[in-house]
Structure 1
Amino acid sequence: MGKLIFYIIIAILAYWIINNRKSRKEKKETPLEPIEDMVSCTYCGIHLPKSEAISDRNRYFCCTEHCHQHTNSPS
């Protein structure tokens, strides 16, 4: 009778360990957020996400002031 209880306990522990590992793997496999392209300001050179940059003729700026200063500068 003692051996039967021992084997049942071992079976329960093995089942618990296997299920615990599966749930850990599922938690680790969360989808990552897509990586956003970075651009640098043509005027000052600071890097910022493309979605936050101001675009003017395939050039990117960090703010409207830099955009105006670059377009109004003699070059």
Structure 2
Amino acid sequence: MARIVLLLGLVVLALFWALGRRRGPTGSGRSPQAPTGRASEPRTMVRCARCGLHLPQTEAVQDSTGHWFCSEAHRAQGAAE
């Protein structure tokens, strides 16, 4: 009988320990909420005409024909066939 009580006590202690670790340092037990405001506006993505990589338009290079490229090297090579 003492073994059963000891085993149940260990199980209860293990559960409390696991729940305590899950809560983290705040002890609230709730996960942090995402900010309600938008951090930034969505960015327009473009595809490199040479290799097909998708990247933000602000980081891409455009040639005179209107094709977008991921780098100056790919712009110099031109669009892939």
Report the TM-score, using the length of structure 1 for normalisation.
0.53
Determine helix, strand or coil for the equivalent of 1:35: coil
Structure 2 residue aligned with 1:44, among 51, 59, 64?
51
> Cα gap change, 1:28/1:41 in structure 2, threshold over 3 Å: closer, same or farther?
closer
- Give the aligned residue type for 2:72: T
CA distance change for structure 1 residues 62 and 28 in 2, over 3 Å: closer, same or farther? closer
Among candidates 60, 70, 73, match of residue 78 of structure 2: 70
Q: What is the CA distance between 1:58 and its match in structure 2?
A: 1.2
Larger Rg: 1 or 2?
1
Distance 1:43 1:33, change over 3 A: same
1:32 to 34, 39, 64: 39
Unaligned runs of 5+ in 2: 1-33
- Cα shift at 1:32: 3.4
CA root-mean-square deviation: 2.5
Query: Matched residues, percent identical?
Result: 32
Distance of aligned partners of 1:44 and 1:28 in 2 relative to their CA distance in 1, 3 Å threshold: closer
SS in 2 for 1:48: strand
Corresponding residue SS for 2:62: strand
